[in-house]
């Protein structure tokens, strides 16, 4: 290893110190660039043998798949104090943040002047509505009385019409008809008598018993009686043929009109009654609306004074100015249903973390986790209780392409004196693979679509490439699904060594067959997570075999599309660049073997 002796600053002038600094930095840059571009073409001095190679013994062990994320503590049970005032209200007085309050203490006073004015106006409108209701009730009573009178008058007219017809048909007309017939008969009898008298007088005149004057008088009487008969006959004809039908038709018409008038009266009565009832209902509805409005305003007035429903610690719900929110203070304005304060119950706490979308699909409720609280040495067990169905948009402004989902974990027990907002580190156990063949990532080399490890031959003097299928991986280890048996010794590769070993065994990787390699994404404050096909961090448990390896990095030079000449030189890629999430493995350091 090359070292540089740098004089102390106290013994050097400023210009000399600057020159020396520039010189050293330049030399270090030259050495770094030379090592970067030349390491894939330089084999170890002992490349002719394997005595200096380091191997890892494959031993079945437990692989724990975990998701790591930092978050914060929140109260498991927290009462939100929000504004129930329907309009935007101004805070007149608010309790100090961090204060401890008891049930019934006043927390917030909101401006109520506008609501009080509305209460006064609505009270006057309610009084007018009550007066209108009383007038409508009186109008309805009068209308009912008028309807009864109109109905009674119409009914009487119909009854009188029926009686008049019955009286005429059964009484007046038969009587008049009988009188006319009697008068005709009496006239006819008188005519017969006068005719007999006239004959006798004529006979007496011929015998000279009466004079001519007597004959003339008898003749006149006869003519008079004949006229009476004709008159009686005419009267009977007029009565039966004209007077009777006309009188009956008039009385029937009167009855029909009376019946129609009665029907109209009933309809008019119903219409007038409906109008009066509708007017009363309208006024009563208006009164009820005024009463409800007044009650709502009075309720809103009560909402302007917000009291603590239980004892607790006051925590402001301040929003960022970027979101257009205002800090909770006197003079600030709050909208309806806006949360102003919280009263957390610190006796039971939960951890809240935001998991990237690539990892949240692996989480389910009731999964176990370990939570490490800042300032608390002992880890605390927890269980996943809720996974938000929608992503959190609070960080979308800074990372528009990052989507994180809030996840809540209930602590098994809560240490005393904890407060909401304390930082935590969470390890969520997603899966546990038993008896898995685990190797360090440093032993994996990918060439195109194929993945290889280099296993020590039976003679112990050479290594042979073996094609394998890999499973879950993290930054240091990966599960070998197929291709390696327990007890095998796999080589921990140096930079550029994998490609040369493949070529020595007659395998020449084709650069065009290599799949695209992407750098693992990293969410703000999150562990690395695989862009595709990967998973959360897998941690092998304790077992007979152990191993170590480098953290996986992107296999491309910055700013270029060419693979880096390290760990899988220009012909391959590092497995960790695709399948490795964030955290290093615990209790799993590699065990070199000869």
Stretch 27-54: mean pLDDT: 48
Mean pLDDT over the full length of the chain: 79
Local confidence band at 23 (pLDDT 50, 70, 90 cut-offs): very low
Q: Are residues 196 and 327 both part of a single domain?
A: no
pLDDT digits (tens, 9 = 90+) for 425-482: 999 998 888 888 999 999 999 888 889 999 998 888 889 999 999 988 766 888 999 9
User: In CATH, what number is assigned to the domain containing residue 323?
Assistant: 2.40.50
Task: Determine the average pLDDT of the residues in 176-200.
Answer: 90
CA distances from 131 to 46, 127, 265, 280 (A): 111, 6, 31, 11
DSSP secondary structure, 286-310, as one string? HHHHHHHHHHHHHHHHHHTEEE-SS
One domain, residues 126 and 251: yes
Indicate whether 276 pLDDT > 90. yes
Q: Flag whether pLDDT at 362 surpasses 70.
A: yes
Find out whether 88 and 334 touch, Cβ atoms under 8 Å: yes
Q: Please identify which residue in the block is written with the tokens 């007496």.
A: 204
Residues 471 and 561 in one domain: yes
Q: Is residue 34 part of a domain?
A: no
pLDDT at position 475: 65
Residues 460 and 569 in one domain: yes
At 72, give phi and psi (nearest 5°). -145, 160
Q: What is the CATH number of the domain that holds 461?
A: 2.40.420.20
Same domain? For 141 and 230 the reply is: yes
Give the total number of structural domains in the chain: 3
Q: Mean pLDDT lowest for which of 256-270, 494-508, 529-543, 563-577?
A: 563-577
Question: Among the three residues 303, 328, 356, which one is the final residue of a domain in this structure?
Answer: 303
**Unique residue bearing structure tokens 């007219």:** 157
Q: Which of 184-193, 284-293, 480-489, 576-585 has the lowest mean pLDDT?
A: 576-585
Q: ∠ CA 562-479-372 to the nearest 5 degrees?
A: 95
Is residue 517 scored above 90 in pLDDT? no
Does 324 have pLDDT greater than 70?
A: no
The residue from 337, 358, 388 where one domain ends is 337
For residue 349, tell me if it sits in a domain: no
pLDDT over 90 at 312, yes or no: no
Residue 354 domain-assigned? Answer: no
For residues 430 and 66, the answer to whether their CB atoms sit within 8 Å is yes
The answer on 311 and 269 residing in a single domain is: no
Q: Which of 286, 303, 320 is the last residue of a domain?
A: 303
Q: Does any domain span residue 508?
A: yes
Q: What is the rounded distance in angstroms from the CA atom of residue 483 to the CA atom of residue 259?
A: 110
Helical (H) or strand (E) element with 75: strand 60-82
Rounded Cα–Cα distance for residues 533 and 475 (Å):
15
Q: Count CB atoms within 10 A of the CB of residue 236.
A: 19
Task: Give the model confidence (pLDDT) of 519-539 as tens digits.
Answer: 344 443 443 333 333 344 444
CB count in 10 Å sphere of residue 201: 20
- What pLDDT does residue 402 have? 85
- 375 in any annotated domain: no
Residue 511 DSSP SS3: helix
Would 484 be classed as within a structural domain? yes
37 close to 495: Cβ distance less than 8 angstroms: no
CB 480 within 8 A of CB 24: no
- The pLDDT value recorded for residue 540 is 53
The helix (H) or strand (E) run that includes residue 39 is none
* β-bridge mates for residue 349, sequence order: 75
When pLDDT is averaged across residues 365-376 and rounded to a whole number, the result is: 95
Do 188 and 233 contact (CB within 8 A), yes or no? no
What's the CATH number where 292 sits? 1.10.287
pLDDT 10s digits, 60-119: 988 888 899 999 999 988 899 999 999 899 999 999 998 889 999 999 999 999 999 999
**pTM of the predicted model over 0.85:** no
| CB count in 10 Å sphere of residue 120 | 10
Tell me: do 333 and 455 sit in the same domain.
Answer: no
Q: Cα-flanking dihedrals φ and ψ of residue 34, to 5°?
A: -65, -45
pLDDT of residue 449: 87
Instruction: Count the neighbouring beta carbons within 10 Å of the beta carbon of residue 525.
Output: 12
Residues 460 and 554 in one domain: yes
Query: Are 331 and 90 contacting, i.e. CB atoms less than 8 angstroms apart?
Result: yes
Asked if pLDDT for residue 229 goes beyond 50, the answer is: yes
Q: Print the domain residue range for 332.
A: 84-110+304-337
Q: CA–CA separation, 357 vs 25, rounded Å?
A: 42
Same domain as 298, residue 161: yes
State yes or no: pLDDT of 145 exceeds 60. Answer: yes
Question: d(Cα 467, Cα 452) in Å, to the nearest integer?
Answer: 4
Reply yes or no on whether the pLDDT at 223 is more than 70: yes
Q: Are residues 499 and 564 in the same domain?
A: yes
pLDDT for res 582: 35
Dihedral in degrees, nearest 10, Cα atoms 223, 229, 234, 236: 170
Give tens-digit pLDDT for 279-300.
999 999 999 999 999 999 999 9
Q: How many other C-beta atoms can be found within 10 angstroms of the C-beta atom of residue 200?
A: 12
On whether residue 560 sits in a domain, the answer given is: yes
Residue 104's Cβ-count burial label (10 Å; 0-12, 13-18, 19+) is: exposed
330 and 270 inside one domain: no
C-alpha to C-alpha distance for 71 and 327, rounded to whole angstroms: 23
pLDDT at 511: 55
Q: Is the domain of 500 the same as that of 551?
A: yes
Domain-located, residue 215: yes
């Amino acid at each position: 290893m090359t070292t540089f002796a740098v004089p102390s600053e106290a013994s050097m002038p400023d210009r000399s110190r600057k020159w020396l600094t520039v010189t050293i930095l330049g030399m270090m840059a030259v050495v770094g660039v030379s090592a970067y571009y030349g390491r894939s073409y330089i084999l170890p001095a002992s490349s002719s043998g394997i005595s200096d190679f380091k191997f890892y013994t494959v031993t079945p062990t437990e692989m724990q798949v975990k998701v790591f994320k930092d978050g914060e503590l929140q109260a498991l049970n927290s009462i939100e104090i929000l504004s129930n005032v329907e309009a935007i209200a101004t805070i007149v007085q608010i309790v100090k943040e961090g204060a401890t309050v008891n049930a019934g203490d006043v927390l917030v006073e909101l401006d109520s002047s506008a609501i009080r004015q509305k209460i006064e106006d609505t009270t006057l409108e309610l009084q007018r509505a009550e007066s209108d209701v009383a007038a409508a009730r009186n109008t309805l009573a009068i209308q009912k009385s008028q309807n009864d009178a109109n109905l009674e008058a119409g009914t009487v007219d119909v009854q009188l019409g029926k009686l008049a017809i019955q009286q005429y048909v059964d009484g007046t007309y038969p009587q008049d008809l009988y009188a006319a017939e009697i008068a005709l008969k009496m006239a006819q009898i008188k005519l017969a008598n006068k005719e007999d008298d006239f004959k006798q007088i004529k006979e007496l005149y011929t015998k000279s018993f009466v004079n001519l004057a007597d004959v003339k008088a008898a003749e006149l009487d006869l003519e008079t009686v004949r006229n009476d008969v004709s008159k009686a006959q005419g009267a009977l004809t007029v009565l039966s043929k004209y007077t009777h039908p006309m009188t009956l038709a008039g009385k029937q018409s009167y009855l029909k009109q009376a019946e129609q008038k009665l029907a109209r009266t009933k309809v008019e009565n119903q219409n007038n009654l409906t109008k009066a009832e509708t007017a009363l209902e309208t006024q009563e509805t208006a009164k009820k609306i005024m009463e409800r409005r007044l009650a709502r305003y009075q309720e809103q007035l009560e909402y302007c004074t917000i009291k603590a429903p239980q004892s607790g610690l006051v925590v402001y719900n301040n929003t960022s100015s970027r979101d257009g929110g205002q800090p909770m203070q006197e003079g600030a304005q709050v909208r309806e249903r806006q949360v102003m304060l919280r009263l957390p119950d610190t006796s039971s706490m939960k951890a809240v973390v935001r998991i990237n979308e690539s990892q949240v699909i692996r989480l389910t409720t009731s999964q176990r986790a370990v939570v490490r609280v800042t300032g608390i040495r002992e880890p605390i067990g927890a269980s996943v209780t809720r996974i938000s169905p929608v992503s959190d948009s609070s960080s979308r402004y800074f990372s528009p392409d990052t989507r994180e989902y809030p996840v809540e974990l209930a602590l098994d027990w809560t240490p005393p004196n904890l407060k909401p907002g304390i930082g935590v580190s969470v390890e969520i156990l997603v899966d546990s693979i038993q008896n898995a063949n685990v190797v360090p990532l440093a032993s994996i080399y990918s060439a195109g679509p194929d993945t290889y490890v280099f296993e020590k031959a039976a003679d112990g003097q050479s290594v042979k490439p073996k094609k394998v299928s890999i499973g879950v991986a993290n930054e240091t280890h990966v599960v070998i699904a197929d291709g390696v048996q327990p007890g095998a010794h796999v080589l921990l590769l140096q930079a550029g060594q994998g490609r040369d070993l493949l070529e020595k065994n007659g395998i020449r990787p084709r650069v065009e067959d290599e799949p695209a390699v992407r750098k693992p994404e990293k969410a703000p404050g999150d562990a690395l997570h695989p862009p595709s096909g990967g998973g959360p961090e897998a941690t092998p448990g304790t077992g007979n075999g152990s191993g170590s390896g480098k953290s996986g990095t992107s296999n491309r030079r910055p700013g270029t599309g060419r693979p880096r000449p390290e760990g899988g030189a220009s012909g391959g890629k590092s497995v960790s660049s695709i399948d490795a999430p964030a955290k290093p493995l615990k209790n799993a350091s590699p065990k070199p073997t000869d």
